Amino acid sequence: MNSFRADLHIHTLLSPCGDLDMTPDEIVRIAKEKQLSIIGITDHNTTKHVSLAKYYAQQCGIFVLGGAEVTTKEEAHCLAFFETDETLQIFDEYLQKYMQDIWNDTDKFGYQVQIDKEANIIYEEPKFLPAAIDQSLEEIEKKVHSLNGLFIPAHIDKPKTSVPSQLGFIPFDLKIDGVELSIRSTKTDYLLRNRYLKNKTFIQSSDAHYTNQIGTTYCYFNIEQPSFEEIRKAFIEEDGRNILLKEFVEK
């Protein structure tokens, strides 16, 4: 089994809160510099920059886990990841369908642009991407799993925009593949206050919106090689695969 450093929560310049320096090629360059082997591209409510990130990542041996950070009707953030370009496209269309008519204010929130390999702007999203879509937490989970994806409540230790901050706890009947901590917590400390999650799989990610945030925290996937199926096995600890947080590795 091999160990791969992973940061699964990174925004590109398509997210309005993401810096314009967060181009897919720059993200990949910094990820390589930070010795990341797996990165998650998770713009707010869109998957449109995943394919370009994959293009650059394949050239330097980094695996891109493609998905989105979805804002539920309850104003809770969740990560959704998919294996194929087809399922990423289907999910992007689903997100577009349920986006509400809340328009982006570029002066207040910044631009929401998609670029091509030549860094030309090919699309600008007019709606405010981080806004809640018109789908509940449970409805989004069901859609993700209907597409054979991974569904992970994001930054559950944040005092806002997390499932616990919005609902008080993570529903016991919600089908999740894992939970994510931000850089502000450790699993050890978090479980002291939230023992009901002790049997869940944890990841830890940077939620990077700026280049200097990429890889500021991460976790380790102990798998044969980076692939969607190997990553899925790590979440359920199948065939010796698992995920370890840096607090248990870098002592």
Say what the pLDDT of residue 116 is.
96
Tell me the pLDDT tens digit for each residue of 45-60.
999 999 999 999 999 9
Strands of the 38-41 sheet, one edge to the other: 150-153, 77-82, 63-71, 38-41, 2-10, 219-223, 242-245
The SS3 assignment for 159 reads coil
Say what the pLDDT of residue 43 is.
98
Bridge partners, residue 115, by sequence: 121
pTM given for the model: 0.97
Instruction: Measure the CA dihedral 156/81/10/107, to 10°.
Output: -90
Could you tell me the maximum CA-CA distance found in the chain, to the nearest angstrom? 51
Q: Are 97 and 139 in contact (CB under 8 A)?
A: no
Say what the pLDDT of residue 251 is.
65
Provide the 10 A C-beta neighbour count for residue 240. 11
Say what the pLDDT of residue 248 is.
84
Q: Are 176 and 170 in contact (CB under 8 A)?
A: yes
Task: Enter the tokens of residue 246.
Answer: 């840096």
Say what the pLDDT of residue 249 is.
85
Question: In angstroms, how far is CA 50 from the centroid of its own chain?
Answer: 11
Residues in the chain predicted with pLDDT less than 70, given as ranges, are 251
